[in-house]
Amino acid sequence: MHVYVCVWARTLCTRLCVCGRVRECVYSLQSLICLFLSLPLSEECPDVYIVERLFSSSLVVVVSLSMPRRMNVYHFKRGTEICNYSYSNNILSVRLNRQRLVVCLEESIYIHNIKDMKLLKTLLNTPHNPSGLCALSVNHGNSYLAYPGSLTIGEIMVYDANNLGTVTMIPAHDSPLAALTFSASGTKLASASERGTVIRVFAIPEGQRLFEFRRGMKRYVSISSLSFSADAQFLCASSNTETVHIFKLEQHKLRDGECLTWGAYVGKMFTAASSYLPSQVSDIMHQDRAFATVRLNVFGLQNVCALATVEKLPRLLVASSDGHLYIYNIDPQDGEECVLSGGETSSPLYLLSQGYSEDGGAQKGEVIPEHEFAEGPVCLDDENEFPPVSNQSN
C-alpha cells in the first residue's frame, strides 16, 4: 500500500492526514492514537493525492489522481459529500482556513468563500508554478496568501484573500522558490529556494526580513517542508537528505552586566568586518545555524515535518512517504541532537476501519443536494472543534 502524500493539519499540528490507494486516515497526535476516517469515495477515484482538513472540523477536501481537475468537499463524520468543483487544469494544491478555500493550479489560483464555497476571485496568468507552491495563513483575521511571483527568481507575492488585493512583493531569494509557510498568527512568513541552503523569515505584511538561517553550505538540497511552532519561536525544515533542522527565532542581545565570551567577541569582530567584505561573504556571516538537528534513518523520500506539543512535551514530527511517522523529543533550552521518542509508528500509517454517521445526520453516501448547499452556510457542527488561534503579534 503506497502513500502518495502526508499532510499536517495546518494549524497547531494536532492531526496528521494520510492518503493513499485504499483509505484516508486522520491521526490524533495529542495522545498518539488513531482516529477513524472513511470518506464516501466512488470506485472511480480511489487514488487520493491531496487531502486537507479544516482544523479539527468535519470538513475534508479531497482530490484524486483519476480526476485531478475535480475537488470534492466532504463532511466526513456524516459520510456525505458537501459539493464538488471542477477546474480548467489539474489541481496541484489546496489550502483553507475559516474564511477562505484556495485552489492552486499551474498558472492560476482560485479563492472561494468557505462558508458557501462561492468563487470570490480568480488570479489568472500567475507565474508558472508546476509544484502548486502556495501558503495560506490559518489566521482567518488576515488570510494572507503567498505564492511565487517569478519563475526564475525567488519573488514572493503576498495577497490578502479577505479583502482580495495584493499586499506586497518580497524579493526573497536569487533562485526560484521551493517552500513557503506562515506562522499561526500570519505575521511571519518563512521561505526557501531551490538551492535549499538558506531559509529566510519575513514580517508580514511589511515584508521586512527578520531572520536568516543557513541550512548548509556543501550541497544544494530540495527543501520539502517548512513549519513554525505554535508560538513562532522555532522553525523546522526537512529536505531530501537525512537531516531535519530546527532553528530558533531569537535576537541575540547581551544582558545587562553580561560579558562577551571569546567566541562571541570574535563573532562580533567578524560582523563588524563584514561591511568591508563582498556581499556574499557578508551575508554568510549574518546567518544563524540550526539550534537542533535530527538524523533520519532514511533519505531521498518525500516527507513533511512539524513542531507540536504532544503529551505536554515539545516534539518534532516527521511523516515520510513510505508510511512511517517519526516522533522526536526536543530540548527547548539547549537544542543539540534530538532523540527518537519511543521508536516509530510501524508502517503502514493506515487504520482500516468503518466510517460512521452521527445520530440524526445524513446516511452514509447520501449527497447533499446542490441547491440546499447553496442556500445556506456550511453546517459542520464544529464550533467547539476549532483549536484556539493566537492573534498576538509574533
Looking up residue 141, the CATH number of its domain turns out to be: 2.130.10.10
The answer to whether position 394 is within a domain reads: no
- The whole-angstrom distance between residue 194's C-alpha and the CA centroid of its chain comes to 17
Examine the pLDDT at 196 and tell me if it is beyond 70.
yes
Q: Which pLDDT score, from 0 to 100, does residue 311 have?
A: 77
Are 99 and 78 in the same domain?
A: no
Which domain covers residue 359, as residue numbers?
1-86+352-382
The answer to whether position 231 is within a domain reads: no
Alpha-carbon span 254 to 38, nearest angstrom: 54
Alpha-carbon span 308 to 230, nearest angstrom: 7
Are 192 and 279 in the same domain?
A: no
Alpha-carbon span 284 to 389, nearest angstrom: 35
For residue 9, which of 363, 386, 394 has the smallest C-alpha distance?
386
Domains contained in the chain, number: 3
| Whether the Cβ atoms of residue 247 and residue 326 lie closer than 8 Å to each other | no
The answer to whether position 143 is within a domain reads: yes
Residue 27: pLDDT band (50, 70, 90) is: low
The answer to whether position 133 is within a domain reads: yes
Chain mean pLDDT for the chain: 75
Examine the pLDDT at 57 and tell me if it is beyond 50.
yes
Are 324 and 373 in the same domain?
A: no
Examine the pLDDT at 224 and tell me if it is beyond 70.
yes
Are 100 and 80 in the same domain?
A: no
* pTM, to two decimals: 0.77
Is the pLDDT higher at 292 or at 78?
Answer: 292
What SS3 class is residue 61?
A: strand
Q: Which pLDDT score, from 0 to 100, does residue 207 have?
A: 96
What is the per-residue pLDDT across 255-306, written as a single tens digit (0 to 9) for each?
444 444 444 454 455 455 544 555 444 444 445 688 999 998 877 778 889 9
Q: Which of 3-17, 72-86, 107-121 has the lowest mean pLDDT?
A: 3-17
Examine the pLDDT at 202 and tell me if it is beyond 60.
yes
Largest CA distance in the chain: 73
Are 262 and 326 in the same domain?
A: yes
What is the per-residue pLDDT across 307-340, written as a single tens digit (0 to 9) for each?
988 778 888 988 887 777 888 999 988 888 888 8
Are 52 and 136 in the same domain?
A: no
Q: Which pLDDT score, from 0 to 100, does residue 216 have?
A: 64
Is the pLDDT higher at 374 or at 124?
Answer: 124
Count of Cβ atoms closer than 10 Å to residue 254 Cβ: 10
Q: Span 32-42, mean pLDDT?
A: 47
Examine the pLDDT at 144 and tell me if it is beyond 60.
yes
Alpha-carbon span 207 to 229, nearest angstrom: 20
Are 181 and 117 in the same domain?
A: yes
Q: Which pLDDT score, from 0 to 100, does residue 341 have?
A: 76
Residue 352: pLDDT band (50, 70, 90) is: very low
Are 41 and 117 in the same domain?
A: no
Are 15 and 111 in the same domain?
A: no
Residue 210: pLDDT band (50, 70, 90) is: very high
The answer to whether position 389 is within a domain reads: no
Hey, which of 39-53, 124-138, 355-369 has the most confident mean pLDDT? 124-138
Are 192 and 103 in the same domain?
A: yes
The answer to whether position 392 is within a domain reads: no
Are 22 and 122 in the same domain?
A: no
The answer to whether position 176 is within a domain reads: yes
Alpha-carbon span 123 to 200, nearest angstrom: 26
